[in-house]
Structure 1
Amino acid sequence: MDSGKTSPDSPEVFTLAERPGLADRVGSLDPGRLPEFLRHDPINRDYWSRLYTELPEFQIGVLTGSGSESVVAAGYTAPVAMDPKRLPDRGWDAALEGAFRDREVGRRPNLLCALLAVVGAEHQRRGLSALVLREMRKLAARHGFDGLVAPVRPSLKHRYPLVPMERYALWRREPDGLLFDPWLRTHERLGAQVVGVAPGSMEVTGAVADWERWTEMSFPESGEYVVEGALNPVRIDRERDLGSYIEPNVWMIHKGTN
């Protein structure tokens, strides 16, 4: 999948199947804006590492073109068997878990699902996130999938945790009429359309003490709390010693994969 280098400073794109020795460098890129508690989604815990070992041909890395072999961005995808007209409410969890369960039973995938795009902190605002999405589209076409789908985590929804995702996902800005959210807008500019919401895309539960550690907050009583980085309020039940968070994402489909 190497895109080649047109100049000494142009990026080089590869898959982990092509450059397995760079897996650690790809994995060490910090997702940055992702809050700590999302790392404790049980589906993420059980399946994420298997992307590297079982599906390396679907994991993308981007190198600087300076010859320093510095990994500056990455994209994680998984082949899935899904009806594009009835994408699952569990979104991200369903895609990651389903990719491996489909393999176990021999079910043929028809779509490529974009799970995560990561750009190194010092390389932000260089168009690398859009580059990663374009490479995901190319990857879907190269493997003969019907298209690219994505349970997208909007980048500014955490500022509006009380607004239902069904409304937020359709907000548009003036005067150009493009989607309000920057990450949704990046997908839209590359040909993607919002097709629905995945209301239970990720789910995290833990003891109250766990949530206090993950969020660096105190929860003195039961109730719903607005937590930094969370797209919805976190529900705390002190009587049951339980905190729970259900994250909604936005399903988008890239109509073209060229």
Structure 2
Amino acid sequence: MDLLIVNLADRPDLVDTMWDFEGLWPVFMQQDPVSDLFYSRATSTYAAYTLVAFAADDMDHPVARSCSIPFAMGAALGRDALPDDGWDGVIRWAWLDEQIGRAPTHLSAIEVAIRPDLRGTGLASVMLEAKRQNAIRLGFKDLYAPVRPSLKTAEPHTPMREYAARTRDDGLPEDPWLRLHVRAGGTIVKVCPRAMTMSGTLSEWRSWTGQPFDATGDVVVPFALNPVHCSVEHDHAVYVEPGVWVHHRLG
């Protein structure tokens, strides 16, 4: 497939295509309140960090998107290490930086999303490299990514630290998405144990997942990386998703 990848800062006429995807994420994964700090401004404040890909002969239907966010990090800022709350944490950092006018020093990946019918075709690798090249073009030397390992969903009870450490005979990570990052030049830094948090009433969780949520304890939900913690007594359930920080040194 011949691709055209556009930066939304350069093509504001295409900003609406950012949302022209269906079936990217299950409903429960769309309930992280921190996400609004990014996605509400992905096509405005963060347009230069947002890429959308099209088949060269079809500019009406996007095939993939890539999102990133700039942030500041350094010991003088009290940020001498990547946040343990991963995706949520770096979005909050970026939002706070913007509010006080602090210049960013690093870039974090937020998402690489492929249209469901085109997954497994190599587009993820293309979009990751486009993200790296866009970071370089914007003057960044470090790109971080709070990676969501793609096959961890099959092992919700396995600790992320154990899962992320697995390698193949060639030394590359066993997980395909972590492996793609390492092949592209990334280095695994650490696990972020609470990269995203989604909470809701039991009624909300039933509507999000179609599962009963009628007993206190852990509930395994399809596509979740960890079990969801359910409390019938308190009428709520909480999902805390881990991730893995990966560092791409760009220069």
TM-score interval, normalised by the smaller of the two chains: over 0.9
Pairs within 5 Å for 1:29-44: 29-30=21-22, 32=24, 34-44=25-35
Give the alignment partner of residue 65 of structure 1, picking from 47, 52, 56. 56
2:70 aligns with: 79
Q: Please state whether the residue corresponding to 1:108 is helix, strand or coil.
A: coil
Q: Please state whether the residue corresponding to 1:196 is helix, strand or coil.
A: strand
Structure 1 gaps of 5+ residues are: 1-8
Deviations 1:81-116 (A, max 9, x none): 124961000110112222122111111111111110
**Are 1:193 and 1:254, in contact at CA under 8 Å, matched by a contact in 2?**
yes
1:15 aligns with: 7
Give the alignment partner of residue 52 of structure 1, picking from 43, 46, 68. 43
CA distance in 1, matches of 2:33, 2:81: 24
2:179 aligns with: 185
Cα pair distance change 1:54/1:31, threshold 3 Å: farther
Pairs within 5 Å for 1:169-248: 169-173=164-168, 175-248=169-242
Give the alignment partner of residue 126 of structure 1, picking from 110, 121, 124. 121
Deviations 1:137-176 (A, max 9, x none): 1111112112110000010101111111111111112x32
- Which 10-residue stretch deviates more, 238-247 or 48-57? 48-57
2:83 aligns with: 88
CA distance in 1, matches of 2:101, 2:37: 20
Q: Please state whether the residue corresponding to 2:88 is helix, strand or coil.
A: helix
Q: Please state whether the residue corresponding to 2:199 is helix, strand or coil.
A: strand
Deviations 1:32-69 (A, max 9, x none): 3x332110111113432211121101100112112544
**Percent of matched pairs sharing the same residue:** 36
CA distance in 1, matches of 2:13, 2:120: 27
Give the alignment partner of residue 251 of structure 1, picking from 231, 237, 245. 245
Q: Please state whether the residue corresponding to 1:221 is helix, strand or coil.
A: coil
Cα pair distance change 1:68/1:140, threshold 3 Å: closer
Instruction: Write out the 4+ residue segments of structure 1 that deviate beyond 3 Å after TM superposition.
Output: 67-70
**Are 2:55 and 2:63, in contact at CA under 8 Å, matched by a contact in 1?**
yes
**Are 1:39 and 1:45, in contact at CA under 8 Å, matched by a contact in 2?**
no
Give the alignment partner of residue 160 of structure 2, picking from 165, 184, 207. 165
CA RMSD of aligned residues (A): 1.7
CA distance in 2, matches of 1:135, 1:120: 16
- Which 10-residue stretch deviates more, 181-190 or 124-133? 124-133
1:241 partner letter? D
Q: What is the TM-score normalised by the length of structure 2?
A: 0.93
Q: What is the TM-score normalised by the length of structure 1?
A: 0.90
Q: Residue 124 of structure 1: CA displacement? A: 2.5
Q: Please state whether the residue corresponding to 1:42 is helix, strand or coil.
A: coil
User: Are residues 1:143 and 2:134 paired?
Assistant: no
Give the alignment partner of residue 97 of structure 1, picking from 92, 95, 104. 92
Matched pairs, number: 247
